[in-house]
Chain A
Amino acid sequence: MPDASARQLARALGWFSVGIGLAALAAPTKVAQWVGLPGGGSQALLRAIGLREIASGVGILTKDDPSSWLWARVGGDALDLALLTRAMGDEQADRGRVAAATAAVIGLTAVDAYATRQMSQDPGGSVQDSHRSAPQEPRVASAITVSAPVGEVFAAWEGFASLPRFMDSFATVRVTDDRLSHWQMSLPGGLTVAWDAVITDIEPNERIAWRTGDNSTVSGSGEVRFRPAPGDRGTEIIFSATFDPPGGELGSKVAGLFTDPLGVKLNNDLRRFKQLTELGEIVKSDDTVVPGPNPAQPVAG
């Protein structure tokens, strides 16, 4: 039975793949140094490995049956092992590092194989809604262009009064009065963070700024900027928030999590605001009504 923990492991490996992949693509030389491979010639290979990692990572994260993409990881690990073994024989390679990297890959291969076996036992486990617990950068931001004039878009935003209509991916928002709103965010592992947002400044058609109030498990501040998009394309909205981790375990956990995945969630919400403004309603698909496989699933039996 692929219990929650098997799925969590698959998820972690998925994000791990994406992370490694991006690193190998962006900084192949660094990664090469890190695993002890000589520079130059190994870059193309590392880039290829990077692409494979991203593809299998996304596959693991988005497939309802991640096992086939997990097997791809195992296959990939085998390839990496072969590579590293060859590097061991290479004159220029730093044997110590290559050995360490090889050990790490062997370990990973075991973990991959384990996760794959667990997931293969019941391919039904979904690994959507995943979050990466990633490097510390407690700023989250996202931007979108809405094809309507700034005045209209700013008015539709209504201070924060419109937020409950489209914010539910990043956080759920309850608006108490025209300056005060209550935000609640669910994090992986059953953690919940809540804060009051107090609007500190409104510049019509340009900016709404806020900071957290007293009843908050995090403290921070943020702003929403509005500006005309060049070429008559409407209005650009840039939403950003910075959180100061208050210290302690919760704080750093929270800080660690306020990164890309939250940006993605924030972007989901901004897209919904765009739909409301441009179309008058939020677009639904079978997937948004019942997340996961189509609700037009075969009727049981």
Chain B
Amino acid sequence: MKATCFMGRNKVEVQEVPDPKILNASDVIVKITSTAICGSDLHLVDGYIPAVMHGDVLGHEFMGEVVEVGSNVKTLKSGDRVVVPFDIACGVCNACRNEMYSVCENSNPNAWMAASMWGHAGAGAFGYSHLTGGYAGGQAEYARVPFADVGPMKVPDGMTDEQVLFLSDILPTGYMGADLCDIKPGDVIAVWGCGPVGQFAIASAYLLGAERVIAIDRFEYRLRMAREKAGAETIDYEEQDVLDTLKEMTGGRGPDACIDAVGMEAHGHGPMWIYDRAMQAARVETDRGTALREAIMACRNGGTVSIIGVYGGFMDKFPIGSIMNRSLTIKTGQTHVQRYMRPLLERIQNGEIDPTFVITHTLPLEQAPHGYDIFKNKLDECEKVILKPGAVSATTGSYAHA
């Protein structure tokens, strides 16, 4: 089959690889009809997550048709159309029973590696380095999906791939980002980052009752999407001082909750930004902190900082004093996708949210390298790229612009 492979730092290629096989009795094989490129993939490709190996198959946001079923699978059969959560969870361990699927105790066979970095290990994930288990990813024609009765969700008839694909990751992620803020009537929420995750965090904050949402980024087309499609007020951090502007916008209090939808490759200005780049290059720290530090400093006394942007290791100059002295609460996590998938499917069906608004590019799988390029470098007003395996012949060399 064809698959998108990591071939070295900043090098992604679509290669011919062996088809996946059933390895455990609870596995299914899915023939992928749609898959997407995520900001998390950029952290891998840019070389900030250790334990990615040359040839590893990338991708953790995918859906498709079940074509092969393990002997112990009870709820799925060949021909079922499913969307698959990026985190792999067994469904029976203590973590899973508490709906903390992204820290499943059984799904990461390389738990020792993760534990040596983080003290304890999290769950396995598709296409996300050997730290999270060494599972091949889903930017491919087929994928093996373990724990088929726990993760994959059947797609109701009549819904398009585009409507449900993002239930695999970014819609639940944005939603969890807002859910962790424990939003009360009248709350003002600020969101750092207007990538696809940030857009869904904004929309979800409104769904959960926020009075106002303020979004921060520097790309005008992303800020425009946040205003026009998600309904946020926006700050361009290249034009305005974020802390001052937020104080002014909130009567000096600061936002009631701040969501970091940027992560470890945050961009910025000034001495702290140069410092972070240098420290990260020398591996004194693995995570750049410009966005997170600002989110912490901006938050109102007693407020919540919700971190859904991904961090991998260590950050320098972490403003712990601001957190402690002002009674802030920090909440974070890889998304417990299985917890949010079904309720969010209902919200899509009820017309409360239409996640297709973030899609700007639909490309054949073969053009994944181009997709990575425009998504990473913010070319052609790219917000979110969907890849379609098997769609090559008619569209080679071009891509649809939604």
A interface vs B, CB < 8 Å? 18, 48-49, 51-52, 54-56, 58-59, 61-65, 68-69, 72, 75-76, 79, 123-124, 126, 145, 147, 233-234, 264-265, 267-268, 271, 274-275, 278-281, 283-289, 292-299
Contact = CB atoms under 8 A, between A and B. Distances in A.
Nearest to B130: A287
B50 interface: yes
Interface string B154-167: 00000000000000
A267 B112 contact: yes
Contact of B50 (A18, A63, A79, A275): A63
B contact face: mostly helix, strand, loop, or mixed: loop
B18 A283 contact: no
A110 B313 CA distance: 27
A153 B401 CA distance: 57
B50 A298 contact: no
Contact of B53 (A69, A284, A292): A292
Contact of B112 (A268, A281, A298): A268
A289 B316 CA distance: 38
Contacts of B94: 145, 147, 233-234
Contact of A58 (B3, B117, B316): B117
Given A51-B313, A62-B131, 12 more contacts: A64-B53, A68-B9, A72-B283, A79-B282, A123-B8, A147-B92, A278-B92, A286-B20, A286-B135, A293-B56, A296-B57, A298-B17
B112 A296 contact: no
- The 8 A-B residue pairs with the shortest CB-CB distance, nearest first, are A287-B134, A298-B15, A62-B51, A293-B53, A64-B53, A72-B283, A297-B55, A52-B284
A285 B316 contact: no
Contacts, number: 167
A294 B55 contact: yes
Nearest to A65: B54
A298 B282 contact: no
B16 A55 contact: no
B3 A49 contact: no
Contacts of B113: 58, 62
7 contacts: A51-B284, A55-B313, A123-B54, A283-B124, A284-B23, A299-B15, A299-B16
A283 B107 CA distance: 7
B55 A285 contact: no
B109 interface: yes
Contact of B283 (A76, A126, A280): A76
A18 B284 CA distance: 13
B51 A298 contact: no
Contacts of B282: 52, 72, 75-76, 79
B281 A75 contact: yes
Given A264-B112, A296-B57, A147 B50 contact: no
